[in-house]
Amino acid sequence: MRILILGGDGYLGWPTALRLSASGHEIAVVDNFSRRRWHHENSTDSLTPIALLGDRIDVWEGLSGKRIESFIGDIEDGEFLDRIVRTTLPEAIVHYGEQPSAPFSMVSRQHAVLTQQTNVIGTLNLLFSIRDHVPNCHLVKLGTMGEYGTPNIDIEEGFLEIEHKGRRDLLPFPKLPGSLYHLSKVHDSHNIHFACRTWGLRATDLNQGVVYGIETEETAADERLVTRFDYDEYFGTALNRFCVQAVIGHPLTVYGRGGQTRGLLNIRDTLQCVELAVAHPAKLSEFRVFNQFTQQFTIAEVAELVQRAGTELGYDVRVQSFPNPRVEAEEHYYNAVNTKLHDLGLQPHLLDEQLVQSMLETISRHRDRVIARAIVPRTRWRPGELPGGGHPAATPETLSDESSAAR
Amino acid sequence: MRILILGGDGYLGWPTALRLSASGHEIAVVDNFSRRRWHHENSTDSLTPIALLGDRIDVWEGLSGKRIESFIGDIEDGEFLDRIVRTTLPEAIVHYGEQPSAPFSMVSRQHAVLTQQTNVIGTLNLLFSIRDHVPNCHLVKLGTMGEYGTPNIDIEEGFLEIEHKGRRDLLPFPKLPGSLYHLSKVHDSHNIHFACRTWGLRATDLNQGVVYGIETEETAADERLVTRFDYDEYFGTALNRFCVQAVIGHPLTVYGRGGQTRGLLNIRDTLQCVELAVAHPAKLSEFRVFNQFTQQFTIAEVAELVQRAGTELGYDVRVQSFPNPRVEAEEHYYNAVNTKLHDLGLQPHLLDEQLVQSMLETISRHRDRVIARAIVPRTRWRPGELPGGGHPAATPETLSDESSAAR
C-alpha cells in the first residue's frame, strides 16, 4: 500500500515509518522538523542522539533494501501539501504532523495560536487535498484521550447513544479538553467528521493515551535508527519523564496528589494500533474513533512503579508532590472503553517492572546527555498565579519552593 | 458601561453600536471592512446604500451627541487587538467580528482556511487579551444555532444532562455543524468554554438563528444610518433573500423540498437579546449559552409567507424548488429550547405578513440596486457533483436547469 506519514521524523512517526516499510508498504514521510527546532529554541534535546532524517533513511535502506521517500515542509502550506498528495497518491495517510504538547500550547498567546493554527489549518488542508486528489484514501489521524477530559460518565469511543426527553440519537461524545493543545485536537475531530459525512471521506481517529517506551523492533536494529526520547516539560510524557528523573536522582514530579487517571500504552502498541487501523480501513463516509490505550493508571501509581523498579536497580528514587501547574481535577471518576482495537487483534505489551527497568537501563546509557533545565515544569495554566492557589486540589507549596527544587 | 464591538461596521454590529450608544454606553467599534471587501471581490453589494464608517459615526454624533470610537484592523493580528483592549479597557465585548457565511466557507480550501483562521484565531486572540488586560470583562459572543445541526433529540441551551451506564454529568451539547463556517463557531465555543473554566473568564455565547429585517429604531432615524442588507448567496439570509427575489420577480430559491427547519428572529430582537445579555452578565468562570431565536419555521413556510405577503402587494411571487447545494437533511426532527432570553425579559417581534410587507416596501425603493448575479447559489457543498446526486433528499433538477434559472 502507498502510505504517507505526516510528522515522519518524530517520536512515533519515525518508528511507524520503519514498521510500515518493514511490512512491505511503500512509505513517504513529510516533516518540517518543528520538534527539533522547538528543542533548539528551549535549549533542550532528545535524550537519545538522533540521526539526521537523510541518514536515518539511508541506514534503513542499507539494512532493509527499502527506500523511504521524504518531503520537507509545512502542511499549513496547503500548496505544498497538495503537491505531495498529488504526486504520491497515497492509499492511506497517517497523520502525526501536529504540535503535540499541552504545556507548550499554554505558554503564551503566540504558542496557543501556533498550536491551533498548525494543527487545525494543517489538518483542514489535508482534508481538501484528500477530497480533491485521493478521495478513497484512508486517513489515520492521531487524536488524544485528552479530548474527552474527565467526565463523570464512562468514556465511549467517539460517539454516545443519548436518550433525551423520550427521543434517541447517536451523537459525538461531548468533549471537555484540558488545554489549548487538546482543544486543537477536538477541533480536528469535528472537521474530519464533517469531511466524512459531507464529502464521503474515510477516517480513523486514534484517541491515543500517554505513550511510553524507547525501542521498537525496527529502531533496535541499528543505533542510528533510534527514535527521539523527550523528557522535558513540553514534549516528555509522564512515565518517560519519571524514568529519566529516577536515573538522575531527581524527585519524580507528581502534580498535586497524583490522583489523575490516564490511559497509557507502550510505543510498540502505538505501532501495532496504527498498523491495525491501516490494515482494516474505515468505510467511505465513515468517521471511526478508536480509544488507543492499553491500561489505566493514576499518576501516583505510575510513580510508585518507577520507584519500585528503580529501587531494585539500586537507584534512590523519591516521589515528591509538586504544585500542579495545570487546571485539572486531581481526583476524578475515569473509565474509558477501549475495545475496538482489541477487536481488531491488538496484543498489548503490558506495563510492568521489567519494562520500566529496561527503560531505566537504556536511559542510564545516555545519562550524561540529560539537560537539567528540562526537568521541572515552568508553564502555568494560569500564569501570574502561584501554583497552589485558585483550585481546590492544589497543594500548599509555593513557586519558590518549586524553583529551588529545580536546581 | 464601556463596550467594545468587534465587527461594528456590519449588518448587526452597526445597529448594535447605535442601540448601545443610545442606551448611554460608551462604545468603541473594531472592523477590518472584510464584508465590504468580499462584496467587491464578488461584484455584489448591499441592497441598501451604506455610508462610510466615519460618516455614519459623524451622523450619529450629530443626531445623538454621542461619539462612537473606531479602530480599523484585523483581530487575527493579536498585537493590534491587544492594543485596543489595553487602551479601551472594556467592561463588555460584543463579538461579531467573524466571517459569517456557510457557503463562503465551502467555496474552496482558501475560503475554508480563511474562515477558520479568521474566526478561531481571532477569538483565541481575544480570549488572551481579555485574560491579560480585562479579566472581569463580559464576553458576549455571537454563535449560531447551526452549531447544533439537526439532531434527533431536543436541542438544549449549550449543555445537556446525560445519564449513561448509571452515572450522570452535565456536558456540552454534542454538535453536528453543517459547514466549515459552522464548525469554526463550534471551535470558538469550545475555546471560550475552556477560557472560562481555566482562566475564570465570563462569557455568553448567543447561538443565534437566522436574522431577518432591515430597520432598527436607531437606523431609521436618518437614512445615512441605514445598515447593510445582503441578499447574495454568501451573506444573505433566507427570508431577506426571498423578499428581494419577490420584489424582482425571481422565483424564491427554496432548496429541495424546503423541509429544513430553522429558528428565526427579527434584527430588532438581535439587538434586544444582546442588550439583555450585556445588562445581565455571566458570572466569573461561567460559560453561558443562550439559544437566540424567537420562532421556528420550515424554509417552505417562510417562502409561503413571503408569497402571500407579496401577492397582496401585487407582486407575482413564484416558489421554485432548487437543487440543494448543501449536504443536509431536508426533512428532520427539530425542536430547540430558547427560554433563557425570555426569562431575562425578551419581548419578541413576531414574524407576520405585515412585517414582510414593510420589508418588501423598503426593498422596492432600492430595487434598481439589485444585482442579478447575486441571486442564485453557485457554491456546492460537494463541488464537481451535480446537485441532485448523492444524497437522499435531492430533487431531479440538473445544474443546467438551475443555471438557466439564474438568468
Which amino acid type is present at position A203? A
Catalytic residue status for B185: yes
Q: What percent of chain B has pLDDT above 90?
A: 93
Query: Residue B388: is its pLDDT beyond 60?
Result: no
* A168 close to B (CB below 8 A): yes
C-alpha–C-alpha distance, residues B250 and A392, integer Å: 63
Q: What percent of chain B has pLDDT above 70?
A: 94
Catalytic residue status for A219: no
Closest-CA residue of A relative to B391 is A198
Distances (CA, A) of A281 to A1, A92, B21, B341: 12, 9, 58, 46
* pLDDT of res. B404: 32
Query: Residue B396: is its pLDDT beyond 80?
Result: no
Closest-CA residue of A relative to B385 is A199
* A151 close to B (CB below 8 A): yes
CB atoms within 10 A of CB A49: 13
Catalytic residue among A88, A123, A185, A315: A185
Query: Residue B394: is its pLDDT beyond 80?
Result: no
* A109 close to B (CB below 8 A): yes
Query: In the CATH scheme, what architecture does the domain A2-220+266-293 have?
Result: 3-Layer(aba) Sandwich (3.40)
Tens of pLDDT, residue by residue over B271-316, are 999 999 999 999 999 999 999 999 999 999 999 999 999 999 999 9
User: What pTM was estimated for this model as a whole?
Assistant: 0.94
Tens of pLDDT, residue by residue over B61-100, are 999 999 999 999 999 999 999 999 999 999 999 999 999 9
Q: How far does Cα A260 stand from its chain's mean position?
A: 17
Cell digits for B305?
A: 409567507
3-state DSSP call for residue A164?
strand
ipTM of the complex: 0.94
Q: Where are the domains of chain A?
A: 2-220+266-293
* pLDDT of res. A385: 59
Exposure class string for B10-46: b at 16+ Cβ within 10 A, else e: bbbbbbbbbbbbbeebbbbbbbbebbbebbeebebbb
In B, which residues are within 8 Å of A165 by CB distance?
153-154
Query: Residue B318: is its pLDDT beyond 80?
Result: yes
* pLDDT of res. A298: 97
The pLDDT confidence band at residue B383, using thresholds 50, 70 and 90, is confident
Catalytic residue status for A150: no
Q: Give me the residue from A116, A125, A167 closest to B154, CB to CB.
A: A167
* B79 close to A (CB below 8 A): no
* pLDDT of res. B385: 59
Mean of the per-residue pLDDT values of chain B: 94
- Which residues in chain A show pLDDT less than 50? 386-407
Catalytic residue among A181, A212, A231, A315: A181
* B114 close to A (CB below 8 A): no
* pLDDT of res. B165: 97
Cell digits for A167?
A: 427521543
* pLDDT of res. B149: 97
Q: List phi, psi (to 5°) of A97.
A: -80, 60
Please give, rounded to a whole number of angstroms, the shortest distance from the CA of B183 to a CA of chain A: 7
The pLDDT confidence band at residue B403, using thresholds 50, 70 and 90, is very low
Q: What angle do CA A180, A183, A189 make, to 5 degrees?
A: 155
Is residue A120 within a helix (H) or strand (E), and if so which, with residue range? Answer: none
* B220 close to A (CB below 8 A): no
Query: Residue B352: is its pLDDT beyond 90?
Result: yes
- Residue of A198, A199, A284, A332 for testing the chain B interface, max B β-carbons within 10 Å: A198
Is residue B143 within a helix (H) or strand (E), and if so which, with residue range? Answer: strand B138-144
* pLDDT of res. B384: 76
Q: What is the DSSP letter of A155?
A: B
Catalytic residue among B11, B96, B148, B181: B181
Query: DSSP E strands: which ranges in A231-302?
Result: 252-255, 261-266, 287-292, 295-298
Cell digits for A121?
A: 489549518
Radius of gyration of chain B (CA): 21
B381-402 mean pLDDT:
47
Superfamily of domain B2-216+267-293: NAD(P)-binding Rossmann-like Domain (3.40.50.720)
Q: Which of B262, B261, B214 is nearest to B236 (CA)?
A: B214
Tens of pLDDT, residue by residue over B160-203, are 999 999 999 999 999 999 999 999 999 999 999 999 999 999 99
Distances (CA, A) of B313 to B247, B252, B354, B369, B406: 10, 16, 11, 20, 24
Is residue B129 within a helix (H) or strand (E), and if so which, with residue range? Answer: helix B122-133
Please give, rounded to a whole number of angstroms, the shortest distance from the CA of A63 to a CA of chain B: 41
In A, which residues are within 8 Å of B194 by CB distance?
177, 180, 183
Please give, rounded to a whole number of angstroms, the shortest distance from the CA of B123 to a CA of chain A: 10
* A148 close to B (CB below 8 A): no
Cell digits for B395?
A: 430533487
